[in-house]
Structure 1
Amino acid sequence: MAISKKRRSRYNPASEDFHKEEFPFYWLARVYGRYSMAMERLLKRVDLDIPRWRVLNILYENDNSSISEISEHAVAKLSTITKIVYRMKDDGLVETNQSVQDGRVTQVSLTQAGREAFFAMHEVTEELFHNSFQGMTEAQLRKLNQSLATIFANLPDR
């Protein structure tokens, strides 16, 4: 059931009835901030950071991807992802090749060191993920993901 416009007023920052604790983006920002701090601390143990974590996850799941595809999945600017990919290439985590279908496209894939980094990063972050969703059922996690996907789709994409 959708929330009526009148009921939405207290969730709207422009409303007189607004309370930050009832604003979903307040909680999203707080959760992401705390998550990011914990992840950075853990990833530092294996000489990684969150941008590299994202790229490694995307490439592990997709085998190889163009820089544009990585940018789309990571919801990050193309120029930012390009810099990250080339730093990762310098670190020996990924390799880049020109696409055989389109010479303007750079394909990125994991090296053996990238695969090893993927497993190492998941080993150090596994407990954080487990603890983050403690007390939630699989159905609640599925509903949370569905709700977040709806919000994502409602937002402008650029």
Structure 2
Amino acid sequence: MASGSAARKPAPEPLVVLEEFLPYRLNVLAGLTSSALAQIYAERFGLSIPAWRVIVTLGQYECRTARDMAPDGVMHKSTVSRAVSALEKRGLVKRRPNLDDRREEWLALTPEGRAIYEAVAPEALAVGERLLSVLTPQEQQTLSALIDKLTRQARLLAPQDAEGEEA
């Protein structure tokens, strides 16, 4: 005897309100920020997120191994390896043997890779500054401290071998 006018049960109270769920909110913020940055490094330089992270890491540290870069960019070693291979094919990254450990290689930017880093890094920093511009200097300091604190806690909560792909 079901009819279209039969009374419906009210929806149960949600256990999670997605728009208020902290991991979701952080993911939305990260995604929107990545999209803003992607307009710079993807459209102008044809770089993926992992490739950009490799370039930034090598721009900052001059020389690293792929294993060293994985935790820095919160990427799996295989993701770093694929990005490095693509960048090497484009002539943006060069490899040299690690004489202390033959299982890995030192990676560095070529002059062309360094030029991309130097061209896009100031624009990426400007995006970050524009994002933070809605906060007072004190709020910016507090946010930075809170992000550090939450990151430490998240690392404790995450499985030991977890190296997220989308941070």
Contact 1:39/1:50 (8 A) holds in 2: no
CA displacement, residues 73-109 of structure 1 (integer Å, 9 cap, x when unaligned): 0111101101101111111111111211111121111
Who is 1:60 aligned against?
59
Task: Give the number of the structure with larger relative contact order, counting CA–CA contacts within 8 Å between residues 6 or more apart.
Answer: 2
Instruction: Indicate the larger mover: 119-128 or 129-138.
Output: 119-128
Contact 1:65/1:109 (8 A) holds in 2: yes
Who is 2:50 aligned against?
51
Contact 2:50/2:75 (8 A) holds in 1: no
2:47, 2:119 → 1: CA distance? 10
Instruction: Indicate the larger mover: 97-106 or 118-127.
Output: 118-127
Who is 1:116 aligned against?
115
Alignment: residue pair count: 144
Identity of aligned residues (%): 22
- Structure with the greater alpha carbon radius of gyration: 2
Instruction: Indicate the larger mover: 18-27 or 48-57.
Output: 18-27
Instruction: Indicate the larger mover: 133-142 or 91-100.
Output: 133-142
2:56, 2:68 → 1: CA distance? 13
Who is 2:133 aligned against?
134
Classify the secondary structure of the residue corresponding to 2:103. coil
Contact 1:93/1:111 (8 A) holds in 2: yes
1:97, 1:112 → 2: CA distance? 15
The residue type paired with residue 136 of structure 1 is L
Q: Which runs of 4+ in 1 moved over 6 A?
A: none
What runs of 5+ residues in structure 2 fail to find an aligned partner?
1-12, 163-167
Instruction: Indicate the larger mover: 51-60 or 72-81.
Output: 51-60
Over 3 Å counting, the alpha-carbon distance change for 1:139 and 1:64 in structure 2 is farther
Please, what TM-score do these two structures have when normalized by structure 2? 0.76
Aligned Cα RMSD in Å? 2.0
The residue type paired with residue 98 of structure 2 is S
Please, what TM-score do these two structures have when normalized by structure 1? 0.80
Q: Is 1:93 paired with 2:92? A: yes
2:60, 2:76 → 1: CA distance? 20
Who is 2:8 aligned against?
none
Who is 2:5 aligned against?
none
1:121, 1:40 → 2: CA distance? 11
CA displacement, residues 31-81 of structure 1 (integer Å, 9 cap, x when unaligned): 111112222222212332322221111111111111001111011110110
Who is 1:37 aligned against?
35
Classify the secondary structure of the residue corresponding to 1:45. helix
